[in-house]
Chains A and B, each alone.
Chain A
Amino acid sequence: MYIGIIAEGKGDLAVITNILKGKLSVDKSDVEYLQPELDFDETDLHRMRAEQFSNWAIVRETCMKKKKLSDFFSIDEERYVIIHIDTAEAEETNYEVERPVKHDNPSYSKELRDNVIDRVNEWLENQFSKEIFYAIAIEETEAWVLTIYTDRQGDTCRYNDPKKELNRVLNKKLSKKERKVLTLGNELIKFDKLTKKFGKAKNLSEFMMLNESLNFFCKSLETIQ
């Protein structure tokens, strides 16, 4: 089995890889990163702005073009692709996913996830449906990471700005030595270190209970097993 990941950012790749380890017991060598591109040449990188190689719009473009998926699936092997997208920008032009009422709505995460999946499938023209799994992070993947570090009760989906909250919690909880990870320029290594605990099935099943969108994603992977 070989799993490709299309994600918004490099940090998301690392988080999802650790989740796959914990949920499916896959080895990291069974996972490949398809998006964001890791092989832009330096000449292109010099011309590109940061948001040009990692954001939801690139995920959308990749889905719409489908070439990356069909190329990946052209190898004769049991292969799956995880498509990751955050919901934080769901209202933006071309994303345009209807956000359900959040206040007092216990189905908020489920409804929003379903709406985003519908949009992604629309981009994909409903192709590859058996091989694709959806990592829909409400509102950002940082909310999933928060499940490892938060002391507060309740679903970490409720944070409107999980990035900010994660930063706050990490600065508070990590020792001076551990905080060095926050200064790492390499997002892959940084988030791999921060989410190592997802890689153990027992830990992951506890963290899943602290974020509904993480829970939905993990549960969806059970069909692979």
Chain B
Amino acid sequence: MLKKVTIKNYKSVYDMTIDLGRMNLFIGENGCGKTNILEALAMASASKSLDLDVEGLYNRGVRVVKPDLTFSSFTGLKQNKKMSVDLEFQEGVEKVSSSFTIRSILYCEDEKDIYSKWKDEDRTYMIDDAEINLPQMPDKGDKGIGKWHKWLVNDVCKLTEYLIFNLNAKALRGIGSESKKTPLGINGESLDILLSQFAKAEWEQLTQHLYLISWLDEILIDEKDLFKFKGHKLGRSNSVLYFKDRFMRKKEMNNIFSAENANDGLLYILFYLALFISKKTPYLFAIDNIESSLNPRICRTLIKELSDLSRINNKQVLITTHNPAVLDGINLNDSEQRLFVVYRKEDGKTQLKRIKTKPDTDEKLKLSEMWMRGYLGGLPKNF
């Protein structure tokens, strides 16, 4: 699992270290640098996949700008023309654990050219799913090196799959498909295809969570999209997902409607559940603004469920949110679930701190209320 991230000189993040858990929530004002933290990891991910071009970055969810604007640029400070991301992974348990750092030191030949290809001074990268290029290959005679090497390959592989999901309803409905990433696109593309590939156990996990959508009776995947010809959708969408409403008349299938016509919340919930349940989706990923289109109580419960799913399915996730209700879904007594407040210092640099409640506190105030009342920080202060 990724335990520690150190980011230097990336956009507003000048120098920051984060000790991560499994489920990591980031809150803070608009423009405080939350997404920059997620993006720095995407830069490292693209590098270790030898995918450091505009497409490679864009497809991971990076808001690409010219390198001059990618490196931290603060008044009164000389700009450094390199950024770095150090990722410390830890594998195993107790005595047989091992930790290692994967480093990316990124620079560009032409800092003014948005299309300029990025380069990494560190030459660690994935060759294929099982093979890694290391600047210094370990001596295979060393005891335990085999396990260490396996862990390293596994972690770099996880890193290369890292994406920032930032959903929009159009992509979820199957209208337009900007992201070609598989199995799920970063905007919500291809949910129907992934669900159609779900194994029985995955369906069972999904079904257990469908109580979140009170009116939903059943999910249908109409592989031949025949419902389209019966007037269930206009056909602008290429999604073959259909839903049965438990309250609508069953006669003549008047209770079935398509993803094209479904409400946004349903599609967002399904997407997140599929993302956390599927064995084909990345093990390490980020979600920007998870609260979009979701009712506050659903936010709270969904986060709790996703947190459980992340543990069961061994996913690690970084999530940003602006909705206080999301905070009520995490349990800060569990060290795998962490809350970070991101803010900018007066000089503009992004900083972050982990919020922990005192172990002996008997306060019953919800985290959402604590945030809104200013006890956690991460709110504008000038009005």
Query: Which A residues fall within an 8 A CB radius of B?
Result: 2, 4, 27-29, 31-34, 37-39, 68, 70-77, 186, 188-189, 192
* Residue contact B374 to A70, C-beta cutoff 8 Å: no
- On whether A189 and B382 interact (CB within 8 A), knowing A27-B346, A75-B355, A75-B356, the answer reads yes
- On whether A29 and B351 interact (CB within 8 A), knowing A70-B363, A72-B375, the answer reads yes
Chain B residues with CB under 8 Å of A189's CB are 382
Does residue B358 face the partner (Cβ distance < 8 Å to A)? Answer: yes
* Residue contact A32 to B377, C-beta cutoff 8 Å: yes
Chain A residues with CB under 8 Å of B379's CB are 38
A-B contact pairs, 6 of them (CB 8 A): A29-B345, A38-B374, A38-B381, A39-B373, A75-B357, A77-B353
* Residue contact A29 to B346, C-beta cutoff 8 Å: yes
Chain A residues with CB under 8 Å of B343's CB are 29
Chain B residues with CB under 8 Å of A75's CB are 355-358, 370, 375-376
Interface residues of B in 340-383 (CB under 8 A from A): 343-346, 351, 353, 355-359, 361, 363, 365, 370, 372-377, 379, 381-383
* Residue contact B383 to A74, C-beta cutoff 8 Å: no
Chain B residues with CB under 8 Å of A188's CB are 381-383
Q: How large is the interface on B (under 10, 10 to 19, 20 to 34, 35 or more residues)?
A: 20 to 34
What is the bound-complex CA distance between A4 and B374, given in angstroms?
9
What is the bound-complex CA distance between A46 and B382, given in angstroms?
21
- On whether A32 and B375 interact (CB within 8 A), knowing A27-B346, A71-B370, A189-B382, the answer reads yes
Nearest B-chain residue to A32, judged by Cβ: B374
Task: Give the distance to chain B from A161, nearest Cβ to Cβ, in Å.
Answer: 28
* Residue contact A33 to B374, C-beta cutoff 8 Å: yes
Partner of B361, one of A29, A34, A74, A186: A74
* Residue contact A33 to B381, C-beta cutoff 8 Å: yes
Chain A residues with CB under 8 Å of B357's CB are 74-76
Task: Give the distance to chain B from A152, nearest Cβ to Cβ, in Å.
Answer: 32
Chain B residues with CB under 8 Å of A70's CB are 363
Chain A residues with CB under 8 Å of B344's CB are 29
Task: Give the distance to chain B from A39, nearest Cβ to Cβ, in Å.
Answer: 6
A29-B346, A71-B370 given; 14 more Cβ-contact pairs under 8 Å:
A2-B377, A29-B343, A29-B345, A32-B377, A71-B365, A71-B373, A73-B358, A75-B355, A75-B370, A75-B375, A76-B357, A77-B356, A186-B382, A189-B382
- On whether A71 and B383 interact (CB within 8 A), knowing A29-B343, A29-B346, the answer reads no
* Residue contact B381 to A28, C-beta cutoff 8 Å: yes
Chain B residues with CB under 8 Å of A73's CB are 358
Nearest B-chain residue to A37, judged by Cβ: B373
Chain B residues with CB under 8 Å of A2's CB are 377
Task: Give the distance to chain A from B324, nearest Cβ to Cβ, in Å.
Answer: 11
Chain B residues with CB under 8 Å of A29's CB are 343-346, 351, 377
Task: Give the distance to chain A from B323, nearest Cβ to Cβ, in Å.
Answer: 15
What is the bound-complex CA distance between A27 and B365, given in angstroms?
27
What is the bound-complex CA distance between A32 and B382, given in angstroms?
11
Which 7 A-B pairs have CB atoms at the shortest separation, nearest pair first?
A74-B361, A76-B356, A74-B363, A29-B343, A76-B358, A32-B374, A71-B365
